[in-house]
Structure 1
């Protein structure tokens, strides 16, 4: 398996068995991060995106360290998450950056361009099989595909690369050229302590956000329970015409007594005590 340092003093499994959680994480990070950044660069073609994806993968690994530490292959767990982050749309379009300068060598440019023109699933399959060195069942498991589907992706990816760079039709040469392309640039990630700190900070922020969201939901539910009716209220029925009411009569002509009273009222003064004090009979 290439991309891994040959003189590493400790393996991830040894680190898990003999070190504290923080020391084991740091050992795994130092063991895998440099090579993983170079691998992820072949997936994205962007150096900063590769670094960000790998650092995010290790942040998630630290947040779930008991699960990752007990995993059969901690390095594979982190690699799978890093690849997912690198190929996810939110990561690719999160920031608008200027394109990275291409490799100086024209052969490296042609190979990187051929890789980036492949569909993401094909690119990932080719990198895992011909780059990292996984066998076909492991490649299929990591890409969440069946073994025949992974084999078809691998054959199509090799054919597409060979069509653009004919000399890479030889699988051994393709394997060697992928290793050389990944090792051309000195790509490094942040230190393990910084990654752990950022991961813990993000975990605290997400915890606070979850608590705030839960509190708001509980408050809204309580308000709804206090203001909602406690019994069924039958809606009012449709309007109905009232029957049996006599029609409203029109005013008829005034009688002689009413005419005399109206004339008297018109003759009286508009203001004065005589309007409020009753006259003696």
Structure 2
């Protein structure tokens, strides 16, 4: 069985240009295709591609937008002016005096009108005798409009813009994951500080908000948070009883199930995107989502519908007074932390080098055998002191003393 070829689609940038040309938001376009806003954002950024019936509906809508854009551009193009009637030849005039040629100088845009290469300004009439009048029968060439120049942002300005755009929503999402206001704010700040440390990588990412969101979720759901003394004390629960019940139901879920539910029903990501962000397969993410929904619906039956659950999650996150620090303070805090870590690493390296040098300086230069431990000797008779001599021993001693000590006379050989 052969599969039919997929419906062709314009490039992602062209999709976004068509939507903006029709003055449609991502939410309005998503309602027409019957998908979520996050899905449209993923399609326009090129991270995912539509498939099946959604692809066909999206392709038909883009084709309609392209036809409307072509019709608008056709209506906005002015019709060509009729050629003027030929005028009688004027009497020959005296030759004009030669004018000095002025070299073009780089300056403001108003100086370009006197440049003989660029010609007069748009909308100004040509002077008589300048040789710039349109010839009879020739149509005026359309002047292309200059493309709008986007201001070039510095890395700090781009980081501040990203923080101001996504930090409040990320703090509310982290609150749904942890149930702690201070931990949610700290998680988002740490994630943005990590993003500032690795800003070249984050700036080139196709979804910088997703990059920061993954880092914030990892920090918020870290098992080491339970060992911090400041997070052992419980925080005051929400004032509304329904919000307290929903928050308790969320906190009873496992970390991965809770994260999957917040990403899919809270943020609005698709199932493949949720699986990719939670580092799981699509079937595993689907099972986690179904289990999380069943658990929440068991305590709150009114939230069995996914739309009602999405609305209640949004209300719960918006009801709390959550705030985010200024982007400048977050960026400077990350820089201070980086300097502290760098100095600590330098100090540790210096201490390690010093300890190694001291060890090399005081280490022995030759081998010294170790002294074996002593061993007790057994089986030797004890030493006994001499006692008094008997009569026979005294006589023998006297006899030995009376004898000559030098022994008998020495014999010498003689010649006879």
- Short-chain TM bin: 0.7 to 0.9
CA distance in 1, matches of 2:186, 2:178: 11
The structure 2 residue matched to 1:60, chosen from 191, 194, 201, is 194
Shift in Å at residue 149 of structure 1?
A: 2.1
Residues 132-281 of structure 1: pairs in structure 2 closer than 5 A: 132-236=267-371
Shift in Å at residue 144 of structure 1?
A: 2.1
Q: Extract unaligned runs of 5+ from structure 1.
A: 5-10, 242-247, 256-281
Size of the alignment, in residue pairs? 241
CA distance in 2, matches of 1:102, 1:64: 36
Which structure shows the higher helix fraction? 1
After superposition, the CA RMSD in angstroms is 3.1
CA shift in 2, pair 1:17/1:215, >3 Å: farther
Larger radius of gyration: 2
CA distance in 2, matches of 1:156, 1:236: 70
CA distance in 2, matches of 1:76, 1:194: 22
Partners of 1:114 and 1:160 within 8 A in 2: yes
CA shift in 2, pair 1:165/1:217, >3 Å: same
Range with bigger deviation, 199-208 or 226-235: 226-235
Structure of greater relative contact order (alpha carbons < 8 Å, 6+ residues apart) = 1
CA distance in 2, matches of 1:131, 1:250: 103
CA displacement 1:44-72 (0-9 Å, x = unmatched): 11111111111111111112212221222
CA shift in 2, pair 1:232/1:108, >3 Å: same
Q: Extract unaligned runs of 5+ from structure 2.
A: 1-26, 28-35, 39-44, 46-149, 377-382, 389-393, 395-416
CA distance in 2, matches of 1:140, 1:228: 57
The aligned counterpart of 2:212 is 78
CA displacement 1:234-275 (0-9 Å, x = unmatched): 44567799xxxxxx996798x9xxxxxxxxxxxxxxxxxxxx
CA distance in 2, matches of 1:87, 1:202: 21
CA distance in 2, matches of 1:182, 1:239: 77
